[in-house]
């Protein structure tokens, strides 16, 4: 009889946007797609565990390319992801807007409670690490969350506002 082999925990990090889709752009020309890709690469390089257990980190993109939302979720499904974290930056015409917010799928799913738990965990750690205020865990019908509702816990993280991107320098959340 074959021996059961436990695999490492699989975490898919999705650096939002890419290619022709810059996402939000700061007043100084910093593009969201570049910031979230740099952060995702840092997370992958700095981590080989999650919650004290061996973990593998995969990115939905490794270069400045546009990957469809459908392909991002297909990758997470194909990898049999245990967690999916989509990284973004907010933008606002108000220069006083600030803070971290995390989104979870807004309808019932088998992973709803785990997604909410993950959202609160990441939001709390990001607030401490960046010194930004909490905008809370919110609920939305974003495509990447909706398409993964039967696959794994999934969250979309707004890492702050693009004009406050300097807060990323202290980034270590997992």
3-class secondary structure, 13? strand
pTM above 0.85, yes or no: yes
Give me the residues of the chain with pLDDT under 50, please: 1, 167-171, 173-174
pLDDT value for 170: 46
Residue 17: exposure state from Cβ atoms within 10 A (0-12, 13-18, ≥19)? buried
Buried b or exposed e, range 74-108, using 16+ CB within 10 angstroms? ebbbebebbbbbbbbbbeeeeeeebbbbbbbbeee
pLDDT value for 43: 87
Residue ranges of domains in the chain, CATH in brackets = 9-170 (3.40.630.40)
d(CA 86, CA 90): 13
């Amino acid at each position: 009889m074959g021996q059961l082999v436990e695999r490492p925990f699989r975490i898919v990090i999705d650096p939002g946007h890419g290619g022709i889709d810059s996402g939000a752009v700061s007043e100084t020309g910093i593009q969201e797609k570049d910031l979230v890709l740099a952060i995702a690469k840092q997370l992958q390089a700095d981590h080989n565990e999650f919650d004290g257990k061996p973990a593998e980190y995969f990115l939905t993109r490794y270069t400045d390319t546009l990957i469809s939302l459908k392909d991002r979720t297909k990758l997470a499904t194909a990898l049999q992801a245990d967690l999916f974290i989509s990284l973004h930056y907010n933008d606002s015409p108000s220069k006083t807007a600030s803070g971290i917010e995390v989104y979870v799928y807004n309808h019932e799913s088998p992973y709803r409670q785990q997604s909410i738990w993950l959202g609160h965990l990441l939001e709390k750690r990001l607030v401490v690490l960046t010194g930004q205020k909490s905008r809370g865990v919110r609920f939305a019908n974003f495509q990447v969350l909706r398409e993964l509702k039967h696959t794994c816990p999934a969250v979309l993280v707004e890492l702050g506002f693009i004009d406050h991107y300097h807060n990323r320098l202290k980034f270590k959340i997992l």
